[in-house]
Structure 1
């Protein structure tokens, strides 16, 4: 016996527990806690453009969640197979049952509930539209041949932001800033040998500058709140490659893990000052995918002159070769191979290995597809 999937439609805002504008990391974390309701989740993306690919979460059999390619934000929600009873689905709008195992949603029912709209094969309203086709996108403006069929059955319902024109705009574009983003990092501007400047949602928020060798653990808690995890065990295998004569083997330090921001901070165990900053790209298919939210980072170079207030930058969506030349015009430095699944016996990935490329003050972790999956500042 299947339990009913009972969800409310909120035009321009969301459906059920899913809010438009929420991050991919947040949604998947929510789904992990609801395995009884969504036991199988398929993740679909284009591996050839893993840095900016739109991502679809298919929650069988009824829901498709589409996430934008750059910021990995929930852009639209599609409810399909309304008559499939495994499990049955009930759609509500305010106090009205639109569709259920007993109630078939038809064109006349939509019109009675939502009122008149422009003529067309689909019924479109701000933030929600109803399609009479099982797959594909109907033309919402042209044609009126089916307009007289008041008993035509709705096959799909799509919820999107009211600010986005689903016909004229880019169906795979980015999400308009909305309240659910407040407090999240919008952009992280990286400066080698200095640190990172964090810009937050909403856009009117003041940026925060976190500096290596200056910012303390207490500063981080005041600025970002308590980390989701404090990790005291450092993987010190890389210290054998250190060129610093003054390396203190007794200063083991600890990590502040901000998975919800896609950032880790390594902090001195003696001074409690930030020593390293690690920014995560959350690339689909990589070993760390969905452990961290995507951090939209950009590495800033030196301005061309004193009057240049727009210094050049390279971001996570740029290929490794481009970023490497930006950091050092010479040949890329020798790389070291890293397999993050070495300690995991039950994980098999098609591209489990990455390479570490070290530069002065910065390390890039690069996938086999030449995408930078993480940046470490030291």
Structure 2
């Protein structure tokens, strides 16, 4: 026997526990705690591009569409309203719209939401109601009108952000800034040999600067709050590749700010930041969903003192372009890293990555050329 899934409809804002503008990382974290309602989650994405939209299919009722760049919830599609596995009860302003006993029809929508413009679907700001299960519109509709259109059964409900101009939002548009984003990272500007400048929502908030060799663990605690996780550095295998004498790393530890997609390696002796690691949260890679996508940009040198917009390369650009930006000319030899070596039985489509080392920065990229992490040191 399934428990009824009770969800309140909020046009332009969300449905139940799902809020428009929430990050993919946060939604998947929520779903881990709701496995009794959503035991199976299918994630659909384009393995060749880090910036195409991602769809979470929560059987049998929900499809959640996330934007390609920000990875934020853009559209919620509700279907199979009367499927009993589990039964769904959808309410609006505390009145039941649809349930296993209550069939949602055209006349019911009109009574609840009022008049709207003519068309195959009933469209209101932030929500629309479709009478086609697959949403393909009149191309598959029977040209013969129903005897009583008022009794047409609603097959899909679509919730999305309200558009400022009243037009329907495109599925490829990014989500505009909204309250659920407050306190989250909007931009991370990386400067080689210097550090990172972090910008947060709401837009206009004072940025935070983290400097290599200068910012301390206490600074991080004051500026970013306590990390989600702290652990001591135990893997020193990369030190074998150092050209000089191996540095003392005893006692070094990481502050993991997974909610921002950033790690900081802190010296065990000076307690200053030694390394900064940012993560792109690319689906199909071993680190996917361990970190929220960090919207990082690598900033180059300004052309002169008056240059207010120095050149940058961003997380979604091909690693070949980023390499040429960092050091024009032939790319350095790469090292192969398989992050699943320590995970017996784990198989992923992009488990093997390549490490490209430069003075002050290391790029980790998939075989298809997507940058999954960047490390400053």
Q: Partner residue of 1:57?
A: 56
Supply the distance in 1 between the matched residues of 2:147 and 2:220 (Cα, whole angstroms). Answer: 59
2:354 paired residue number = 355
Q: Which residue of 1 aligns with 2:336?
A: 337
How far is the alpha carbon of 1:250 from its aligned partner?
Answer: 5.0
SS at match of 1:101: coil
TM superposition shift of 1:85: 1.1
Cα separation, partners in 2 of 1:218 and 1:86, compared to 1, 3 Å? same
Equivalences for 1:178-217 in 2 at 5 Å? 178-217=178-217
SS at 1:108 equivalent: helix
Are 1:298 and 2:293 an aligned pair? no
Q: Could you say if the C-alpha distance between residues 95 and 168 of structure 1 is closer, same or farther in structure 2, counting changes exceeding 3 Å?
A: closer
Instruction: Give the TM-score of the pair, scaled to structure 2.
Output: 0.96
Q: Does the residue aligned with 1:291 lie in a helix, a strand or coil?
A: coil
Aligned to 2:10: 10
* Alignment-derived partner of residue 75 in structure 2: 76
Partner secondary structure for residue 349 of structure 2:
coil
Query: C-alpha distance in 2, partners of 1:166/1:285?
Result: 37
Whether the aligned pair in 2 keeps the contact of 1:14 and 1:159 (CA below 8 Å) is: yes
| Offset at residue 164 of structure 1 (A) | 6.3
* Alignment gaps of 5+ in structure 2: none
- Structure-2 residue corresponding to 1:110: 109
SS at match of 1:219: helix
Q: Displacement of 1:53 after TM fit?
A: 1.4
CA drift at 1:169: 3.8
Instruction: Provide the rounded CA distance (Å) in 1 between the counterparts of 2:271 and 2:319.
Output: 33
Q: Which runs of 4+ in 1 moved over 4 A?
A: 143-148, 164-168
Asked if 1 retains the 8 angstrom alpha-carbon contact of 2:161 and 2:169, the reply is no
SS at match of 1:26: helix
1:255-294 equivalence runs, <5 A: 255-294=254-293
Q: CA deviation at 1:260?
A: 0.5
Distance in 2 between residues matched to 1:147 and 1:376, nearest whole Å: 65
Measured in 2, the distance between the counterparts of 1:138 and 1:166 equals: 20
Q: How far apart are residue 138 of structure 1 and its match?
A: 3.3
| Residues 1:124 and 1:361: Cα distance change in structure 2 (over 3 Å) | same
Q: Can you give the 5+ residue segments of structure 1 that lack an aligned partner in the other structure?
A: none
3-state secondary structure, aligned to 2:337: strand
Spell out, residue by residue over 1:298-357, the C-alpha distance to the aligned partner (whole angstroms, 9 max, x if none). Answer: 000011122211101001111011000000012111111101001111311122110100
| In 2: Cα distance, 1:80 partner to 1:164 partner | 27
Determine the structure 2 residue equivalent to 1:124.
Answer: 123
Q: State the distance in 1 between where 2:69 and 2:53 align.
A: 8
2:94 alignment counterpart: 95
